[in-house]
Every structure is written in C-alpha cells, then in structure tokens.
C-alpha cells in the first residue's frame, strides 16, 4: 500500500468485458504470469523458519490504512500510491468527515477534494479519480463497492494492485497485492525473478496457500519497512531473518527462496495439523497482547503453541476458561473468540471487565506472558452452510461475540447466501463492543448483513434505537417466522427471557430459536 507499485515489464492489452447488469467495463484482470519458482528440500526447510519468524513478529497484522467502510478502504488505497500510509492516514479523517461515502464524495468539487489531499503526492490526479470513481459507483453499483476484480478495475484510479487489496481485505477473496516491499523482498529472497510485478505475484501465489495470502502479504510489508528496506538493514532484531537479507544477493536468493517456499509448504501442511483444543482436557495458552478497547473492555490475544496451528473451534461453539481466584478456588467461564478457525497461530477474545465478575477480575489482572487454561469445543449450536435463508440475531453487551463469530463465518463463505440481521442492545454508545468490526461487515455485505444498535441512554442526535429491544424492532428487522428462518440470542438473562417471550408470541417455533 505504501509507495507506488513497480512498473510491469510489458503492457497488458485491455480486455473488454461486462458487469452483471451488462454495463461494459474498460478492463479486466490481466493474464496470469507463469510461475518460475523451483521447490527444493533446502528451500522448504528455510522457508519454514521464515514463516515461523514472520508469524511471531506479526501474529495479527492490521491493515495500515485507517477506514471504517469498504468505500473508505478503496479511497485510502487509491490515495496511497507513491506516498506513505502515514501521510494518507493524516488526510483521510478530514476527507471522510466531508465525504464518508460515494454519494457525498460525488457531490464534492474536485478542487475541494484536492485541497484536502494536497499534502500527499499526485493530488490533482487523485482528486479527479476519486470524484469520477464515486460517480461511477453511484451510476453502476448504487454507491456500493463491487466485489469483483473486473468491476473494481473498471473504476477510475483502480489498478490490479488496488483491486487486490480491496478484494482481500474487504471481501475476503484470496488475493496477493504486490507493493514495492514485497516485490523487492521476493527478488532479494529468491522467491521470484523480480522481472515484473505480475511475475512476483504469480510466484508468491504458487508458493503460498490462498488462506495465507492476506496475512503473509501484510507481514512481508511490515518486515520490509522495519528491518529490510531497500538501502540498509536493521540487524537488531530477528537476526536469522535479517542475515538472509544482507548484501550477497545471489546466495541470499537461493537461501531465502526456499525460505518462503518453506513458509508455503509449512502453511500447506498446517491444514492437516492437529488443532489446539481438546474437549477432554484443559490446556494452557500464553497471553501475548492486551488492547484496551473501552473504559471497561479489553481484547486479549493468546498465542497458540505453533504459528501454523488452528484453534479447532467450529462456528457457533465456545471455549471454557479455568483459573484460580484469590482463595484458590476454581473459576470456570465460557467465552467465544472473535477470530475464526481459519486464523493461524493465535486466538482473540473481546471481554468486558465487571466489578463483581470473578473471571473478568482475574483477567483484568493478567499481564503479557501469563497463561490461561482453556478447553473445548463446547456448545450445542452447530452451523452448516445455507441451513437457513435468514437468521435474526439479538445480542446484549458481550453477548455479541458469538453473533459476530457466526456472522463473520457466514459472510466470508462465497457459497453461503444467508441473510443476517442483528439487533444489538447496550447501555450507552461507549459500551458498544466490536462496533468497527460489525460496521465493516455491514459495509462489505450491505445486502446480506445489517446491524441496528439500541441504547438505553442514547446521546443527542442518535439515529439508532432507544430504550430496550422491542417486539416492533424484531418485526421490522427480522424475517417473518417460517421454516427457513432462525433467531439466535445471547445476553443478560432478563433480556433473553424477554426476547423469548416476544419470539414465542410472534410465532417463532422452539426449533427456530437458539439461546447461547
């Protein structure tokens, strides 16, 4: 995302195609380049080492461009050409305040857009592209960002790399965007000839399984920026990895070529690796990161024993935690992670700390390096693709975590067409957990997922629901009772009891209701 993509060695002819509604598109995804990577046993061994180190260095690589919707991600990536992500993040808050969506951006004068983004490179051209791109989104896609390479690349200012970032990060489609860091390191490591961007992309895709592309793409970028820049190297950390990037390009190429090749094979092998969870016994996990999300809510990130390991938790199931309180008594509590079972090497939990909560008080005192005993999978709910046409979800407070887990799993499955509506109740706006993640899902899947926030004490100018979740809200947002409809609920017992009463009176059968 940072800096311009290196130029391709040859221009690819545009291919005329059409969108779903028959609108002609100006170009389509370029022809794939042939791979040129040879896999050897030596490379496989070194690649495994690099994969482990990258995973340890960047176990949960975030998208470096700030955004709160798919449209804003697209804008930020367009702006990132030939400049730094830091500079983009400095101008986008002002830009998105004026134009948070395509409709607002299309109404802005090009000169006004340019004035806001002037500090970054190529501002005049980027301002015109943003204006024209937004108008085209309204004209062809109702203001929504399309989820195909051909339709994305038909937009002004969107090339294959930009489309790849959006397809990967917003829509979960396997893609491997290649920026200057990846192009440079792939050649330096011997993973690609470096003759063209197309070649680098093809070689890396051949080496890595699609499930690893998103994280490895970001991990290489972060590593290139911090430790292996174009002109000098920082030898302070990850010494073995740095040594492979030192000056001797050709031996390095051979050595490191296998390096990420091994990443590949190691990650491919990970699919068959035994998952962490054991339903029969508690096993410890080490805490590697704590993020303070609100005044009383934290994200806890635990490392799995192997960076290639999966947790082994089916969609809709949970994990039991076991810890000792101050009196040495056992405390058990169920928790649902916010990461899914495709996540390798780590598991994350968003947990609200309650003054009288025995387990949350224990967790509030945890420090990085401490361990927690976990056992699972647990739970009665089992999800299967397209098991229902529509699913309604009712959540209160931390009860949103199983809802998010189920919704995210459904929406990332391209073959699942289930429609989801979430009613999410909280005391105040500050109490809304994982709001950014929920809004991102809604922005990426506007036809399949919507969320309606309800607050007991809403602020001025609040546009969501007020008070408690009501029968009318359920009727307004959920599909009518029927054989293809289901409602999931999770939250404080008084709330879930009230919701069951509403659902029973509205005709939702016992089989159509599930309470976590």
Does residue 128 register a pLDDT over 90? yes
d(CA 435, CA 294): 11
pLDDT at residue 480, rounded to an integer: 92
Average pLDDT, the chain: 80
Could you tell me the pLDDT band of residue 38, with boundaries at 50, 70 and 90?
low
Instruction: Choose between 492 and 41: higher pLDDT.
Output: 492
Higher pLDDT, 452 or 340: 452
Distance (Å, whole) CA 43 – CA 303: 26
Report the percent of the chain where pLDDT is more than 90: 33
Q: Check pLDDT > 90 for residue 134.
A: yes
Q: Which residues contact 171 (CB under 8 A, 6 or more apart)?
A: 70, 147, 444
Mean pLDDT, residues 18-47 taken together: 51
- pLDDT bin (cut points 50, 70, 90) of residue 47 is low
- Specify whether the CB–CB gap between 12 and 153 falls below 8 A: no
Over residues 245-264, the pLDDT tens digits come to 443 343 444 444 444 444 54
Give the model's pLDDT for residue 393.
94
Strand partners, 17: 25
Span 330-349, average pLDDT: 88
Q: Distance between CA 151 and CA 147 in Å, rounded?
A: 7
Q: What angle do CA 359, 365, 368 make, to 5 degrees?
A: 110
| Residue 117 confidence (pLDDT) | 94
Whole-number pLDDT of residue 2: 46
Beta bridge partners of 319: 335
pLDDT at 271: 46
Quote the tokens at residue 261.
């090749």
The total of other beta-carbon atoms located within 10 Å of residue 348's CB is 16
Q: Which residues contact 229 (CB under 8 A, 6 or more apart)?
A: none
Strand locations in 362-401, DSSP E? 371-378, 390-396
Mean pLDDT of 437-444: 89
Under DSSP, is residue 177 helix (H, G, I), strand (E, B) or coil? coil
Look at phi and psi of residue 322 and say left if phi exceeds 0, alpha if psi is from -120 to 50, else beta. beta
Structure token digits, residue 237: 């950390």
Confidence of residue 4 (pLDDT cuts 50, 70, 90): very low
Residue 203 scores a pLDDT above 80: no
Average pLDDT over residues 27-41: 52
Is 50 exceeded by the pLDDT of residue 173? yes
What letter does residue 344 receive in the DSSP assignment? B
User: Given this model, what pLDDT does residue 51 score?
Assistant: 62
pLDDT > 80? residue 363: yes
Q: Note whether 351 and 397 are within 8 A (CB).
A: no
For the record, the structure tokens of 35 come out as 């791979």
Contacts of 309 (CB under 8 A, 6+ apart): 270, 273, 274, 275, 276, 344, 345
322 membership: H or E segment, kind and range: strand 318-324
Catalytic residues: 318, 335-336, 490
Q: What is the mean pLDDT of residues 45-70?
A: 73
Give dist(CA 409, CA 424) in Å, integer. 18
Q: Per-residue pLDDT averaged across 28-43, rounded?
A: 54
User: Is residue 494 classed as helix, strand or coil in its secondary structure?
Assistant: helix
Q: Tell the burial category of 344 from Cβ atoms under 10 Å away from its Cβ (0-12, 13-18, 19+).
A: buried
Q: Could you read off the pLDDT of 92-116 as tens digits, one per residue?
A: 999 999 999 999 999 999 999 999 9
What b/e string do you get for 35-58 counting C-beta neighbours within 10 Å, with b at 16 or more? eebebeeebbebbbbbbbbbbebb
Residue 235 pLDDT greater than 50, yes or no: no
Non-local (6+) Cβ contacts of 140 within 8 A are 19, 21, 23, 146, 151
Going by pLDDT thresholds of 50, 70 and 90, the confidence category of residue 3 is: very low
- The pLDDT of 152-159, averaged and rounded, is 92
User: Residue 419 pLDDT > 60, yes or no?
Assistant: yes
Sign, CA dihedral 353-356-362-364, equals: positive
Asked whether the beta carbons of 454 and 466 are under 8 A apart, the reply is yes
pLDDT at 433: 84
What is the spatial distance between Cα 218 and Cα 214, in angstroms, rounded to a whole number?
7
Q: What is the DSSP secondary-structure string of 181-222?
A: HHHHHHHHTTSS--S-HHHHHHHHHHHS-HHHHHHHHHHHHH
pLDDT for 301-324, tens place per residue? 999 998 888 898 888 888 899 999
Residue range 433-452: average pLDDT? Answer: 89
Mean pLDDT is highest, among 61-70, 103-112, 216-225, 296-305, for: 103-112
Residue 465 has pLDDT above 70, yes or no: yes
Alpha carbon distance 360, 494 (integer Å):
21
């Amino acid at each position: 995302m940072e800096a311009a993509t290196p130029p391709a060695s040859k221009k690819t002819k545009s291919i005329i195609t059409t969108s779903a509604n028959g609108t002609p598109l100006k170009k389509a995804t370029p022809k794939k380049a042939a791979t040129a990577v040879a896999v050897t046993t030596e490379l496989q061994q070194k690649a495994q080492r690099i994969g482990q180190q990258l995973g340890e260095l960047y176990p949960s690589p975030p998208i470096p461009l700030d955004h709160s919707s798919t449209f804003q991600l697209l804008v930020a990536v367009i702006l990132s050409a030939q400049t730094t992500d830091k500079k983009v993040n400095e101008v986008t808050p002002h830009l998105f305040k004026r134009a948070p969506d395509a409709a607002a951006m299309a109404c802005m004068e090009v000169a006004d857009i340019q004035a806001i983004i002037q500090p970054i490179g190529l501002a005049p051209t980027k301002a015109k592209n943003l204006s024209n791109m937004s108008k085209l989104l309204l004209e062809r896609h109702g203001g929504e960002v399309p989820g195909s390479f051909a339709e994305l690349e038909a937009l002004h200012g969107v090339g294959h790399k930009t489309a790849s970032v959006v397809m990967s990060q917003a829509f979960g489609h396997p893609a491997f965007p290649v920026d200057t860091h990846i192009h440079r390191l792939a050649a330096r490591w011997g993973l690609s000839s470096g003759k063209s961007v197309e070649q680098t992309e093809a070689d890396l895709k051949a080496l890595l399984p699609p499930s690893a592309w998103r994280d490895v793409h970001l991990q290489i970028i972060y590593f290139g920026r911090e430790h292996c820049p174009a002109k000098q190297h920082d030898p302070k950390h990850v010494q073995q990895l740095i040594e492979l990037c030192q000056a001797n390009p050709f031996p390095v190429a051979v050595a490191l070529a296998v390096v990420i090749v091994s990443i590949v094979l190691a990650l491919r092998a990970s699919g068959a690796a035994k998952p962490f969870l054991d339903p029969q016994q508690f096993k410890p996990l080490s805490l590697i990161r704590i993020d303070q999300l609100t005044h009383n809510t934290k994200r806890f990130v635990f490392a799995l024993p192997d960076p290639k390991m999966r947790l082994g938790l089916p969609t809709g199931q949970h994990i039991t935690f076991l810890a000792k309180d101050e009196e040495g008594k056992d405390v058990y509590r169920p928790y649902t992670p916010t990461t899914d079972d495709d996540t390798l090497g780590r598991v994350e939990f968003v947990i609200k700390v309650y003054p009288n909560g025995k387990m949350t008080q224990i967790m509030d005192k945890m420090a990085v390096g401490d361990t927690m005993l976990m056992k699972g999978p647990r739970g009665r709910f089992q999800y299967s693709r397209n098991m229902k046409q529509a699913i309604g979800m009712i959540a209160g407070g931390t009860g949103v975590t199983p809802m998010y887990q189920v919704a995210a799993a459904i929406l990332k499955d391209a073959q699942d067409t289930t429609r989801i509506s979430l009613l999410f109740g909280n005391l105040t706006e500050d109490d809304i957990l994982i709001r950014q993640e929920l809004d991102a899902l809604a922005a990426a899947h506007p036809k399949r997922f919507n969320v309606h926030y309800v607050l007991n004490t809403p602020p001025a100018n609040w546009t969501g629901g007020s008070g408690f979740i009501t029968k009318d809200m359920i009727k307004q947002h959920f599909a009518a009772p029927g054989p293809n409809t289901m409602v999931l609920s999770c939250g404080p017992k008084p709330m879930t009891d009230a919701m069951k009463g509403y659902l029973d009176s509205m005709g939702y059968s016992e089989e159509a209701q599930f309470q976590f």
